[in-house]
Structure 1
């Protein structure tokens, strides 16, 4: 396999990566709080010591560098549950990490567990700024409200305050795969909470479908170039075999 084939192969691998990310975005169109992902690629230049031409000594390959998240706000999706919240602005709700420590999410489906602790839909308990669960006394269940600044209010006063954490670089957060993210370096965020609904995914299906079509067309072009190169090699070998 010559250099040109390696270059085409790196391009096709990058296209496969883009296709996987786009398909994942489309699969999460209805996932509450989901942020669209995008691929990031860098150019990797290899310098060959020997080449037939000076300009041919440098070969550019595509290097898969990672993914970034589109942190734009999703639309408000009313649920009718007064405990459900959407974060207006940057930041994440603090919840218990099943693996230990603190995890983060923007999926604001909130419910009251049997013991009175507030939790998200997956059962992970909501935490306050001190990393402690927020408990609702049995007599207060059904009478709780949440204010815009995150205070959980009962008939007898404040029961706790929901912590919202922000990150200077949200792309450093690690996606767990269960709607939760983990990371370090977070600081308290001054975001406001909107109750009675949750944040919808910021994925736009039409945009993702268009992107998928563009990826497939690019892959088809790469395949045609690969076929043309193979045909050029075949002809060259055929001509060389006739010499002498």
Structure 2
């Protein structure tokens, strides 16, 4: 009886679905987080009689055949690329990305990583870094005597000084786009790595070539929809229970079969 194995794949799939929902709900307050969705596909089929087969008895063609599915398997955990709402913070180094694009940061290994978390800081040397201390490309340094900063929609960083009437341009924050953003490899801490599926990073100016713009004093909130996630959780729970009932029924049928004298 294959029902035991098929029901087990269904229970495993619903468990994975619950894991994804749990991860989404845990990151409801994570800056720049995009919700995930578990995707599934049916397993291969046992072909007892293929559609279109000519029967040996009378030579007629089977219109449908007999194809018994073997269950379900996970295919992907997709990122739902939707813009989170913007939260006004008023911070000089809080930057939200409106539209497509990622900030490029440099990891301690020297490798490039990418993030939409615009909660930036300055380190002891005045360099603009992420909350975890990773420098933001292209490596801008704020003079210690600067009293305030201004970052415009194009990413230009201007510093204001007490003894000067004119602001000084420190540099420009660039954004990076990808051909397939869903192909990025998540490594935690709101960071992603380039992969063969995502394609190479395409650096550009905010607001140009389809990239989004920057908004100073704002942060992008998580795109998790709590109502949708709770609905998914209920559906996954019901699906798990139904597969468990199939498992119990198949076990009872096997027990009845073994008791036949």
Fold shared, TM-score > 0.5 on shorter chain: yes
Q: 1:176 aligns with which of 161, 176, 187?
A: 187
Alignment of 1:158 with 2:192, yes or no, is: no
Q: Deviations over 1:92-151 (max 9, x none)?
A: 1111123431111111111111101001211111112xxxx11112222x3221111001
Task: Count residues with an aligned counterpart.
Answer: 232
Contact 2:24 2:229 in 1 (8 A): yes
Report the 3-state secondary structure (helix = DSSP H, G, I; strand = E; otherwise coil) of the residue aligned with 1:125. coil
Unaligned runs of 5+ in 2: 50-63, 161-166, 205-210
Whole-angstrom distance in 2 between the partners of 1:217 and 1:44: 21
Of 79-88 and 54-63, more deviation after overlay is shown by 54-63
What residue is the counterpart of 1:14 in the other structure? Answer: 13
Report the 3-state secondary structure (helix = DSSP H, G, I; strand = E; otherwise coil) of the residue aligned with 1:138. coil
Report the 3-state secondary structure (helix = DSSP H, G, I; strand = E; otherwise coil) of the residue aligned with 2:71. strand
Contact 2:3 2:246 in 1 (8 A): no
The structure where helix makes up a greater share of residues is 1
Scaled by the length of structure 1, what TM-score is found? 0.88
Cα deviation for residue 12 of structure 1 reads 1.0
Whole-angstrom distance in 2 between the partners of 1:83 and 1:37: 28
Unaligned runs of 5+ in 1: none
Q: 1:211 aligns with which of 217, 225, 232?
A: 232
Contact 2:4 2:251 in 1 (8 A): no
Of 94-103 and 12-21, more deviation after overlay is shown by 94-103
Please provide the CA RMSD for this pair: 2.0
Report the 3-state secondary structure (helix = DSSP H, G, I; strand = E; otherwise coil) of the residue aligned with 2:133. coil
Residues 66 and 100 (structure 1 numbering): CA distance in 2 closer, same or farther, change over 3 Å? farther
Q: Deviations over 1:183-230 (max 9, x none)?
A: 151213532101111000000112111211111111111111111111
Contact 1:32 1:199 in 2 (8 A): yes
Scaled by the length of structure 2, what TM-score is found? 0.83
Whole-angstrom distance in 2 between the partners of 1:97 and 1:165: 16
Of 31-40 and 188-197, more deviation after overlay is shown by 188-197
What residue is the counterpart of 2:23 in the other structure? Answer: 24
Alignment of 1:77 with 2:98, yes or no, is: no
Whole-angstrom distance in 2 between the partners of 1:220 and 1:45: 24
Alignment of 1:195 with 2:216, yes or no, is: yes
Cα deviation for residue 57 of structure 1 reads 5.1
Cα deviation for residue 48 of structure 1 reads 5.5
Deviating above 6 A after TM superposition, structure 1's stretches of 4 or more consecutive aligned residues are none
